[in-house]
Structure formats: structure tokens, C-alpha cells
Amino acid sequence: MLKLAVLASGRGSNLQALIDAIRMGELDAGIAGVFSDKAASGALAIARGAGVAAMHIDPKAYASRAAFDAALFAAVDASGAELIVCAGFMRILSPEVVAPRTSRMINIHPSLLPKYPGLHTHQRALDAGDREHGASVHAVIPALDAGPLIAQTRIAIEPGDSPERLAARLLPREHRLLVQVVRWIAEGRLRFDAQAVHFDERRLSEPLRVG
Ligand code: GAR
């Protein structure tokens, strides 16, 4: 069974989707720990409610980003996690902790990367007049939101979409996307590193599509 560490700063709906899929027997994985930089995050509350180890690591308790990151990943490593899932983790991680883990850390991002790395992705897609929007799961490398793309989900932008409406319509698709990618990894069908993604032993030339 694949052991996961989930890093989350906010609401925790992607964490909830993983927990639900595991409970329903749809994902053969276990959550070794949930780690958050925000004491009040919904993700920590969800973890505690589900009987999953939950740890708040306070950036203000550390003198530097590097010291915080070292403490965070010491805790992640101690959990025994094999795959690290960034699910709404809103801090930039230092290269020292990312580089040794590029083949076992993924991030979900609410845009069709390489479009719109960073923040305010829904607003930026609307401002650009895009007809399509979506979410991506990618391998984490030191550069922000830039690792090899693993899979994407796409939705049409509709007249009347606001950033909030677009985000709300996308969210259930994000959940399916993240669960599917973790399932493929758990099944041994998907592997990746800082350079490439392989699915069923074939190197991907474009991200997988999840409906
Ligand atoms: C999700 O929309 C995720 O794609 C996004 O944060 C949200 C977390 O929601 N991630 C990023 O913006 C990362 N740059 P959740 O806390 O309900 O899972």
C-alpha cells in the first residue's frame, strides 16, 4: 500500500477526496501524515477528524525558509511516506528539499500549465479571454509550478463565469484528477522525475487527460 504525505495550507478538499477514495476502496493507499503551515487550516481539521496524523509546523518558529523546510521534510520523512502530495500547499519550497525528492513529490495546480503558474489563475484565464481552463498535476521541481506535467483536466469557460464560479466548477474535476494520478502511481503505472513522466513504460509527450 502506497504511503502518502499530504502538504496543505487551506480548506483541504483535495485531501478529503483522497481520504474518501481510500475509504471507498477506490485507492489502495494510506495517509501517513498531513502537514500544514497553517494551524487553522481545514486540512488539519479534516485529518484529525479522519484519525490521520496531523502536524502543524509554524514558519514563524524558524529563522529562515530553509530551516522551516528542513523541519517540515524531517517530519515528512519520519512519517515513512513514499509519495508527497502538495494539495493546496501555498509556500514556495527551497531547492534543497525539492531536488532530492523530484521523483516522489507531486503538486496540483489550478490552471492548464504552463499557463498561469503562481496565483489568481482563474482570474488570469478569464482576463486572457481563454475558452478553456483546467487543472494540472505535475512533478515538483525547484522552479515554481514548472515540473514535468503528469495529467490535466479541462473545462470550457462559460459566459457568466466569475473567478469564484470557475473555481467552484473546476474543484470536483481537480478531486478526480488528483485521485486518478495517485491511483496510477499506487498501481505502479506512472513514474516521473525532474525530466520526464512515464506511463505504462512509455514516455509521455503530453499530459494524460482526466475527464
Ligand atoms: C486547489 O484549487 C489547488 O489546485 C490549489 O489550491 C486549492 C486547494 O484547495 N493549489 C494551488 O493554488 C497551488 N499553487 P483545497 O485546500 O480545498 O484542496
- The mean pLDDT value for 184-188 works out to 98
- Residue closest by Cα to atom 17 of ligand 1: 13
109 CA → ligand 1 middle, Å: 6
* Cβ(87) – ligand 1 distance below 6 Å: yes
**Marked catalytic residue, from 56, 109, 122, 133:** 109
pLDDT confidence of residue 163: 98
Distance from chain centroid for Cα 36 = 13
Q: What is the overall mean pLDDT for the chain?
A: 98
Of 14, 112, 166, which is best to mutate to test ligand 1, by the most ligand atoms within 8 angstroms of its C-beta? 14
Mean pLDDT in residue range 140-161? 98
pLDDT at residue 84, rounded to an integer: 99
User: Which uninterrupted H or E stretch holds 174?
Assistant: helix 163-186
User: Which residue minimizes the CA distance to atom 5 of ligand 1?
Assistant: 88
Percent of the chain scoring above 70 in pLDDT: 100
Quote the pLDDT of residue 181.
99
What angle (nearest 5°) sits at the alpha carbon of residue 120, between those of residues 182 and 107?
20
The CATH number assigned to the domain with range 112-135+147-211 reads 3.40.50.170
Domain boundaries, the chain: 1-101, 112-135+147-211
Determine the distance separating the centroid of ligand 1 and the alpha carbon of 197, expressed in angstroms. 22
Catalytic residue status for 120: no
What is the model's pTM? 0.98
CATH number, domain 1-101: 3.40.50.170
Query: Looking up cell 525528492, which residue turns up?
Result: 101
For the segment 1-30, what is each residue's pLDDT rounded down to a tens digit? Answer: 999 999 999 999 999 999 999 999 999 999
Here the cell at position 70 is 528542513
Q: Kind and range of the H or E element at 3? A: strand 2-7
Of 108, 59, 120, the residue nearest 210 (C-alpha): 108
Q: 529562515: which residue's cell?
A: 64
Query: Among candidates 51, 52, 57, which has minimal Cα distance to 9?
Result: 57
CA–CA separation, 174 vs 150, rounded Å?
A: 13
Kindly report, residue by residue over 54-110, the tens digit of the pLDDT.
Answer: 999 999 999 999 999 999 999 999 999 999 999 999 999 999 999 999 999 999 999
